[in-house]
Structure 1
Amino acid sequence: MPACRPEAQGPATPPAANWFLALPLPAGCGWERAAASAPPELRRFDPLDLHLTVAFLGPCGEAAALAAWGAVAPLRQGAIQATAGGWRAMGPAAAPSAYALGLDRGAPELAGLLAVWGPPALAAAGRPAERRAPLPHVTLLRPRRRDGQRLREPMARWMAVAPPPSAPVIFSEIALYTWNPDRRERLFRIQARRLLAG
């Protein structure tokens, strides 16, 4: 039987877009500048993409994502001021998949928000409950998958000396995010947003 030629195969099906609820980082806060000196191979997030995830819904589809958005509609929370803590490697220890800023001031309040707002959003979208304790953080850098292990040691050295941002930020909104149609330009787009306090 002859081998199947590449041109005989249909086009690859693009992966389904992920959805998530998150607190947008305030525009113009400048936290992205803290990552400027990191190894150049890492992907930097556009400043408008920076956020603190409340509930990661995955490729659940728009209807389920809107159900999650509706589940948090009755919830109210005042704005929360936060400051950056230290850098953290996220994901597998041997090959981190992201690098983020933990939070210092405001971290307990934000962890409390995640613990209250995340579960109903996940349940409404038909997603399993999160088993890990809430860990408020803002991801700024991602290695390519093949570079995770290679960059682990250089990034450990960089994080040990890289200063976090000094300016505080105020989280005052929640938004429903999905993938941006052109991910070369920006990774995410906001489908809906509102003030935390309603």
Structure 2
Amino acid sequence: MYEILSAFQLINLQCTKKFISLHLCEARGAFVSATNHYFMGLRKQSEENIEWDWVACTLNPHFEGNDQRHLTGDDALITETVVHWYFGADNTGDMRLRPNIEGAWEKMKSKGPVMLVTADGCMGGAASGQACAMDAQLQFCQVVTAMGALSKGGNLVMRMASLCDHASLCLVYLVSCVFARTSVCKPTTSASTSSETFLVCEHFEGIAEDYLQALL
């Protein structure tokens, strides 16, 4: 994440007094941590004391109804920064559910312009048809959440397990319709034996409300 932020220069502090980001499927907190380190480095170089505010969503590790197999075993960051975490209208943190997506939109609107969304939700290397179907649903929901939360000019970084299936290619087409530039990135710090890549979607151009509601 740090490498991507640096290579694509996704954080611009010259045009804002407060930088706001949303991080989806974020447990255990790697994208937030990388963004924090990169942001602090930029702020040291800036003459302005710009504030960073962030919100992260993930399956709630403290909600007993969630399947324990899908939860993080390390909730230290969540516990220490709980005010920054959003677990949805039902407290599950499941961002495949419409009320939770709409709730995230409302929460981000109350904070101000959102200029960065990261999405880390995928099985990562699982090859079964069921796993691919789960990935497709979750990744589509992450994109819809991002489109409803981002302000014009904002950026999206999304981890992909593969780009060789129909659903993933359709997702690339979808984001290409609403961002000025979409790149497929394989960072040097990503294992060469892994199929993971990252979609880096720059300069959100906005989306008509009726289209957004249809996707929702």
The TM-score, its normalising length taken from structure 1, stands at 0.25
Q: Which has the higher helix share?
A: 2
The TM-score, its normalising length taken from structure 2, stands at 0.24
Indicate the structure whose relative CO is greater, using CA pairs within 8 Å and at least 6 residues apart: 1
Whichever of the two has the greater Rg, that structure is 1
Q: Which has the higher strand share?
A: 1
